[in-house]
A and B are shown apart, each in its own frame.
Chain A
């Protein structure tokens, strides 16, 4: 900037349009006669939809089905006395998010406050237990402390934060599953007890963390000059992308036991995880390949001229740039993965959707479909909307398409 003739600060920005509210209404709602017509029509439509819905929400909806089953919906049949481990994971998440926010985001104050308000809002519900409320408040506290540390540490903590994110996912698996079978602090909890939102999250986490390395390898394989490797990757990617996820889950649940030596029977959750990882690796490979193709050939040549080996060129020059450009696309993929984990109900797992179905199958709760489905779609919606918001922010922050 310094070398330019006019400095940026000396130039005034173009004038922005300003309206009175009446002017705004005139421009955006009643600019022409058919726009006015459309406005009245859509006002009527909104009224026709919202009025019965609000009426139902305020007077007829019976939320006791959620109240009674909240633990099942959140954690399935995970033992009550071990639930603190799930909370531990959430606290760690709050800490990591807080730290990263302090280091990178800084300026977006309102989004951060909104995020902090979420646990507070949940804690404000009248009917939740006091330990639950304490945990929610503690999450905010942890996040704030981590935010402060990140703010103070600044750039020097970047590596720590990245390391924390990389370590977070395996750590969560370890905490939830447990280490020792005996009476230690982390007894193993069988996967048949995992359920509800917890299982949905774990499937997503496993899908993301394992499909990422496999997908990158497949993408590199597809661009390899060695025909054997290239064709193996192409066949794998195209076959997986050509079939629906349910068929892969079905295959994983019926055929994985067949493929292993007799006697070894992995449990159903593990099979679902294998299926989901296999599936999303193929899609991830295609996305990463897009990023690899966007790297100009000069980068390879420059690395070659510097005397870097093929492996060094990939890990030091090409992949960091390629992955950086595809991060927003990958976020989109992870959102899809998060939504797709709901398909494990077809092989009988009790994730958020599965456990809702089994709650609704109890004679006590027949006829509560609307409440339960509204609740779980809200949960699905909030998290995937949050992820897509992050991906939009990342796109701006990383300057994708600008450099």
Chain B
């Protein structure tokens, strides 16, 4: 019939029935609802803040903090700014997380392998350890370690002395530590040269490995050459770069050495022990994921047990282990915020104090959350990169 009319009808229908249009409409409606909801919350918040006589903004960060922080890696006192307090907290978090990851990995790998031991008793002990810790809240463990163990040690005067000397008291643990002497800066430079040497050697060895098809122990040799450089530097220098500083009891407090507060020790040991149980499970399942046939095939090629572990099982297990391991590391870092319950001044604890002092709850929480979020995002970016790198390339 009339061509134009049909066309007109079709455009009329098209608007209603066109899936593309409906999708767009749906999204617009969704966004409008979301924006209205968020706007409603934001307006309420601004109203409430105005009633309390407060504004919004990060202008409080350069103000004087006015509170002390017990432990700080960078110089800090109460006359410094809120920003500085946040930095102190962040560094404490980094310290606990770094040390925690290091020790938890060692302990976790140990228990993960023990869990697969052919010895029944070892296996049973590892299993009891893992099951006990996995089914218990971390916070209970932390508070128990703090109130039940680390502040229950004898008073400073009756401090337990272990060989070292390590002093253990209810005010903390003191371990011997090195204090830098005037040759220390030179020694640091020697260590730098050692690292350079190690990197050069590892690059060379991996190039050699790729050329010849042999697999030299890259890591082992690199670490050995670094240690050799360090030892040679220590001996060659006219006076030792570090002087041993042994802790002693002075009156009512411990002096000298490196002091570890009960809060720090409770947090670190709790995080390490708790996370190690999860890492042990990750390691165990990673090793089990390498199929039996791989080991059998390697044996039939005449490889030794050590070579089978190093060249066949380990690289394949690592592919399975690294992603969940990274997320355990991330969990440990995030869990360090539980220190707020035992009073170790890491990021979240400091943020709580800043909130009490300045009353800027919204800004403080936004700041803390974005710090944790950026740590997580960086970690997951690394994980994606690693996954792409080790991905199995199949036919």
Q: Interface on A for B, CB 8 Å cutoff?
A: 28-29, 31, 35, 38-39, 42-43, 45-46, 225-229, 232, 238-239, 241-244, 246-247, 250-251, 254-255, 257-262, 335, 339-340, 342-343, 345-346, 353, 357, 360, 369-370, 373, 376-377, 380-381, 384-385, 388
- Between-chain CB contacts (< 8 Å), 14 pairs: A28-B120, A29-B120, A35-B118, A46-B125, A228-B28, A232-B30, A238-B376, A244-B348, A247-B337, A262-B44, A262-B48, A262-B51, A340-B137, A380-B137
List residues 145-168 of chain B with CB under 8 A from any CB of chain A.
147-148, 152
B residues less than 8 Å from A29 (CB atoms):
119-121
State A339–B131 Cα separation when bound (angstroms).
14
State A242–B376 Cα separation when bound (angstroms).
5
State A335–B135 Cα separation when bound (angstroms).
8
State A243–B138 Cα separation when bound (angstroms).
17
Given A258-B44, A258-B45, A380-B136, also A243-B373 (CB < 8 A):
yes
Of B171-179, B235-243, B361-369, the segment with at least 4 beta carbons within 8 Å of chain A is B361-369
Q: Is B103 an interface residue (CB 8 A)?
A: no
* B334 partner, pick from A39, A243, A345, A380, beta carbons under 8 A: A243
Q: How far is the CB of B357 from chain A (nearest CB, A)?
A: 14
Q: A31-B118, A247-B369 are in contact. List 19 more A-B contacts (CB 8 A).
A: A29-B119, A35-B118, A43-B121, A229-B27, A244-B372, A246-B348, A247-B348, A247-B368, A258-B45, A258-B49, A258-B361, A262-B47, A262-B51, A343-B139, A345-B139, A353-B139, A377-B136, A380-B135, A385-B135
Place the interface of chain B in its size category. Answer: 35 or more
B residues less than 8 Å from A369 (CB atoms):
144, 147-148, 152
CB closest residue in chain A, given B29: A228
* A244 partner, pick from B49, B335, B362, beta carbons under 8 A: B335
Q: Is B338 an interface residue (CB 8 A)?
A: yes
Q: Is B31 an interface residue (CB 8 A)?
A: yes
Are B119 and A28 closer than 8 Å at their CB atoms? yes
B residues less than 8 Å from A45 (CB atoms):
125
B residues less than 8 Å from A228 (CB atoms):
27-28, 30-31
Are B341 and A339 closer than 8 Å at their CB atoms? no
Are B139 and A42 closer than 8 Å at their CB atoms? no
Which 7 A-B pairs rank lowest in CB-CB distance, beginning with the nearest?
A242-B376, A28-B120, A228-B27, A369-B148, A244-B334, A339-B137, A242-B373
CB closest residue in chain B, given A46: B125
Are A381 and B337 closer than 8 Å at their CB atoms? no
State A257–B134 Cα separation when bound (angstroms).
35
* B372 partner, pick from A39, A243, A261, A340, beta carbons under 8 A: A243
* A353 partner, pick from B121, B137, B334, beta carbons under 8 A: B137
Q: Is B14 an interface residue (CB 8 A)?
A: no
Centre residue among B134, B135, B369 by max chain A CB count within 10 A: B135
Are A38 and B41 closer than 8 Å at their CB atoms? no
CB closest residue in chain A, given B336: A244
Q: How far is the CB of B387 from chain A (nearest CB, A)?
A: 16
Q: Is B122 an interface residue (CB 8 A)?
A: yes
CB closest residue in chain A, given B371: A243
Are B44 and A343 closer than 8 Å at their CB atoms? no
Instruction: Give the total number of A-B pairs whose CB atoms are below 8 A apart.
Output: 149
State A28–B348 Cα separation when bound (angstroms).
48
| B interface secondary structure, majority | helix
Are B365 and A42 closer than 8 Å at their CB atoms? no
Are B365 and A385 closer than 8 Å at their CB atoms? no
Q: Is B132 an interface residue (CB 8 A)?
A: yes
Given A28-B120, A370-B148, A385-B131, also A246-B338 (CB < 8 A):
yes
Q: How far is the CB of B136 from chain A (nearest CB, A)?
A: 5
A residues less than 8 Å from B377 (CB atoms):
238, 242
A residues less than 8 Å from B214 (CB atoms):
none
A residues less than 8 Å from B372 (CB atoms):
242-244, 247
Q: Is B140 an interface residue (CB 8 A)?
A: yes
Are B340 and A246 closer than 8 Å at their CB atoms? yes
CB closest residue in chain A, given B369: A243
Are B365 and A343 closer than 8 Å at their CB atoms? no
Q: How far is the CB of B353 from chain A (nearest CB, A)?
A: 12
A residues less than 8 Å from B48 (CB atoms):
257-258, 262
Q: How far is the CB of B325 from chain A (nearest CB, A)?
A: 17
Are A258 and B362 closer than 8 Å at their CB atoms? yes
* A42 partner, pick from B31, B45, B121, B137, beta carbons under 8 A: B121
Q: Is B23 an interface residue (CB 8 A)?
A: yes
* B337 partner, pick from A226, A244, A261, beta carbons under 8 A: A244
B residues less than 8 Å from A385 (CB atoms):
131, 135
Q: How far is the CB of A45 from chain B (nearest CB, A)?
A: 7
State A330–B41 Cα separation when bound (angstroms).
31
Are A229 and B30 closer than 8 Å at their CB atoms? yes
State A280–B385 Cα separation when bound (angstroms).
27
Q: How far is the CB of A268 from chain B (nearest CB, A)?
A: 15
State A258–B131 Cα separation when bound (angstroms).
42
CB closest residue in chain A, given B376: A242
State A59–B30 Cα separation when bound (angstroms).
66
State A238–B375 Cα separation when bound (angstroms).
12
Are B49 and A241 closer than 8 Å at their CB atoms? no
State A225–B144 Cα separation when bound (angstroms).
49
CB closest residue in chain B, given A373: B144
Are B119 and A39 closer than 8 Å at their CB atoms? yes
B residues less than 8 Å from A384 (CB atoms):
135-136
Are A241 and B148 closer than 8 Å at their CB atoms? no
Are B34 and A232 closer than 8 Å at their CB atoms? yes
